[in-house]
Amino acid sequence: MRGMWGIDPRWGVTAVRVAMALIFIIAGWGKVMGGLGNVVNAFGRMGIPMPGISGPFIAFLELVGGLALLVGLFSRWLGLIFALEFVVATFYVKFAGQGWNAGRLDLMLLTGGILLFLAGPGRAALDELWLEKSG
């Protein structure tokens, strides 16, 4: 499958996947290294349900899931999970409490998650070896 100029459009999906991975790795690392207690407190202040469970879960999801996305492993499922995470982050936390400007990146991560779920990991992904079987 070739797009304009003979370039496989799945390379565009790869660029989105890698950018998302880097954002999640850095965000997850910051949450873990900043102390999970701080994450729990922040989630509680934002009104996220069960912050003692959801805070650490999201911190490790972003770190480990970001690393998996970087190499293109379980990309469709991680795309779905991250899209669900960012429905909450975008609409419940950012737009509702802080407005449009605070939620722009979250909205982009939400749509990137949907892209990965629907389109797959793109090129240069471990998923291509056995899950996607693309040519």
Question: In sequence order, which residues have a C-beta less than 8 Å from that of residue 15 and are 6 or more positions away?
Answer: 122
> pLDDT in tens for each of the 135 residues of the chain?
676 778 888 999 999 999 999 999 999 999 999 999 999 999 999 999 999 999 999 999 999 999 999 999 999 999 999 999 999 999 998 898 888 888 999 999 999 999 999 999 999 999 988 766 655
The answer to whether residue 134 is domain-embedded is: no
Number of independent structural domains in the chain: 1
The answer to whether residue 105 is domain-embedded is: yes
Q: Which structural domain, as residue segments, surrounds residue 21?
A: 11-125
The answer to whether residue 1 is domain-embedded is: no
The answer to whether residue 135 is domain-embedded is: no
Question: pTM above the 0.95 mark?
Answer: no
The answer to whether residue 5 is domain-embedded is: no
The answer to whether residue 65 is domain-embedded is: yes
